[in-house]
Amino acid sequence: MHRIHVTDMRTFKRCRRKWFYVNQGLVPRKTSPGPLWFGVGIHYCLEKYYHRNRLYTPADWWNEYVNKVSMPIDEDFQDKLEELTDLANHMLDGYFTYDGTHHDWDEVIGIEYELTAKIPGTIVTLVGTADLVVIRNGRVWAVDHKTASSFPNDRELELDDQMTAYLWLMQEGIFNPAGVVYNVLRKSIPGTPEILQSGQLSKRVIDTTPEVYINTVLNMGLTVADYQDVIDKLKGKEFFRREKVTRSRRQLQAFGEIIAPQLREMTSKNTAIYPHKINDCAWDCPYLDLCRCTDDKGDVNYTRNALYQVVGRRR
């Protein structure tokens, strides 16, 4: 019986060649952590937080995560590490304050909760991992943590088949899910208002929160009422957002009908392997050099052995 994760399905649909390399356990010998590294670190700290391990601060969790990274880090990335650490600590401190005032669920019943279902007509058990499973207004919801430069729009949420997969898996298991909560942390630090030469605070609207602006006013010994017009304009500025996503019964039924053919193809010995190149390949694919060599009919074995190593082959 094969266990295939929802993320493997996404990789397969994104690019079969990349999926093949991943399942061969192929990883670069020398690399800086990729663009997903930061998000994985935030997930690691949030997992610790929801386990209610109060013996540590967000900075402790982040440093613990950084020390766990077992890959060579080049000098260029080392220079960025201090900046990313500062960003992570500000984001996490802000989020924990936000979470303490936004009671969007009544109880956490699962952390890094594994969802599984055997797929009829295949040799596959489909697996997904929900960051949280919570109770909200008497209904069960999955929660998916995301870090992003900007908040997703309705169209992006509608087309995210990972969330559809999670809801389908929950439905096939012991839950009757209401939906998924996208728990989005924006990768930004609230700005600090400028202090004018007159000793007053600038009323220019910047990317910050009302709370930061008010605290600056109070720390300077100024009167909040004198800056209420700016504070009102800042109320739309968000650094954290929880979007609720649902899927209809028909959508979940349709998902259940289409996954079996894809999973059979993923487990077939005759599956065609070919690339799907898009602009994102330039930043999100660690196999770009090997892919180029393959297309150029170069010495693939040399490139593979020189630049990559096999770690934990999946299939």
Residue 55 reports pLDDT greater than 70: no
- Please give the pLDDT value at position 45: 93
Residue 308 reports pLDDT greater than 60: yes
> What is the average per-residue pLDDT within 7-30?
91
Ranges of each domain in the chain: 31-101, 107-187+240-253, 189-237
Answer whether 105's CB lies under 8 Å from 141's CB.
yes
Taking alpha carbons only, the member of 263, 254, 269 closest to residue 126 is 263
User: Looking at per-residue confidence, does 20 or 83 come out higher?
Assistant: 20
- Please give the pLDDT value at position 75: 67
Residue 161 reports pLDDT greater than 60: yes
Taking alpha carbons only, the member of 166, 111, 115 closest to residue 3 is 115
Taking alpha carbons only, the member of 42, 38, 123 closest to residue 80 is 38
Q: Which fold has domain 107-187+240-253?
A: Lambda Exonuclease; Chain A (3.90.320)
Cα–Cα dist 108/91, whole Å: 22
DSSP 236: G
- Please give the pLDDT value at position 101: 86
> What is the average per-residue pLDDT within 50-73?
76
Report percent pLDDT > 70 for the chain: 93
- Please give the pLDDT value at position 42: 95
Looking at this protein, which amino acid is placed at residue 159? L
Q: Is 4 helix (H, G, I), strand (E, B) or coil?
A: strand
The secondary structure of 163-201 as a DSSP string is HHHHHHHHHHTT--EEEEEEEEEES--PPPPPBPTTSSB
> What is the average per-residue pLDDT within 220-233?
92
> What is the average per-residue pLDDT within 120-143?
94
Give the model confidence (pLDDT) of 285-307 as tens digits: 989 999 999 999 999 999 999 99
- Please give the pLDDT value at position 203: 92
- Please give the pLDDT value at position 172: 92
Residue 135 reports pLDDT greater than 90: yes
- Please give the pLDDT value at position 81: 82
Taking alpha carbons only, the member of 94, 6, 2 closest to residue 42 is 94
Cα–Cα dist 127/277, whole Å: 27
Cα–Cα dist 169/115, whole Å: 6
Residue 32 reports pLDDT greater than 70: no
- Please give the pLDDT value at position 31: 63
pTM reported for the whole predicted model: 0.86
Q: Is 134 helix (H, G, I), strand (E, B) or coil?
A: strand
